[in-house]
Structure 1
């Protein structure tokens, strides 16, 4: 049986362009049932903003945070290993990602159409209480990350894990492209951060317009889109499929769903792209909230209010993670 950093490799769980993740067991105790996730990064293959050494540094910073204690909604680094070619990060093993959990709570039904044909309809059966529990947990985790001076920069369903398919206790993972304020350990100046961050639908609008002096608001926007997925009828975001692969299509979809940004949007002051957008895009009104958050629009006004606060275009007006959490727990906060 192959080994990595002295652990038995049981199977490959996944990975990306710069890393592989394995389920491993203790090679010294082959009969032990303990299992871990081992993320292995090939250092020569990395490209900015991916940086495994910085990831280890950031996860170490999270562990020594002097706040109220480590968040149960954030993955914890158990150990690190290095050799001349690779870095290994030992992490708890989680068996399901957010998409798996949402799919587990969706039911596929057959619809009989007027023309005699049939079609499949996916119905999200997460309850409002389930959604609230998930969102509060995610905001707990994000607030902890931000309190440590870290911008995660890649909040999306594959980076939200659960111990198993039946769990509703989310854990935020993967700090491979995260930013450690104030200058990412000397890698990026505050006003010159990388904009090639975030994934698909979950990119904040300022990133699409090449704003480089962004802050934690990019994570809050991403989390709001995760919230929209949880509150959807079919376990999807309110965006078209093309928006996952094209920044221009995503920007168009954001304007369609959330309406046009203010013409004096401070984040984009001086941006040629935004000036051109203002000149050529027609003004657009936001979609009705029952089209964006159909499962909660009429039954949970607090969740609607929090979502609107998390999706304000100006980042200075966008609610923080802690404000959003308080808005869900205490309706008098805003």
Structure 2
């Protein structure tokens, strides 16, 4: 049986596990009354979602864990991506727990989240700098078309702080993307598929298996999370997905590809930064609301249209990313 067929089997296993776990866990979350609170300043169309169970990310995390731990592909790379996924997922879970179970609206304070995120990110950066055959180099996308740059870019002593920054930024960008039914799970499904194909073709078997498990989990979660959502992933899920994507990209040395294949994540985060900076400097807002998906909502786009368009853009960007590989 070829490795590619085995990858398809892992996607199927993770997909089925997510469906099965969802049918048990979602009613349990309802009984716990861990409903999502909707921001008063958010779009009015979201008020009907108030009370929808959140913290559904534990469904995906459990499916990914079972799928990868039974794959027979366990090695240091697998442990690191699991560490990143579970570590960031734990930070999100604690934040969700404080907000929806203990009913403290603020959740974890920003500095508390940041300390945890930076700690995990630095560990990943140090690991990669010590074990990667590329050492402190990262692959340059479209290197054939960029003058004065080679296939690899050596970051030297800046490698660890740069990688740590990328991990934290990516994780929080995915978290910002999780604002519409099926948006973050659908975008991550496509991005994870890209990394699974790359890892399979370029000799990262454990990363390929993990990416396949992530793909299947996102696909299965869409059964419950697509409009109208029966459950939200919460910070538990979005932080875990962000940690997974960041670790996969870094361990495959595709760090600089994240803004390309994860262009939607990048745009969502950039829209928030632009909005905040513009308001502080000029008192004016560039967007009707940030993150970016809310701007389109307030511009009259239906939620389902925004999600499908963002999925389509991600698919196109992943195809572009494939052409950017050497």
Class of the TM-score when normalised by the shorter of the 2 chains = under 0.3
Greater strand content: 1
Query: Which structure has the greater CA radius of gyration?
Result: 1
**Larger RCO of the pair (alpha carbons < 8 Å, separation 6+):** 2
TM-score by length of 1: 0.27
Structure having the higher helix fraction is 2
TM-score, with normalisation over the residues of structure 2? 0.28
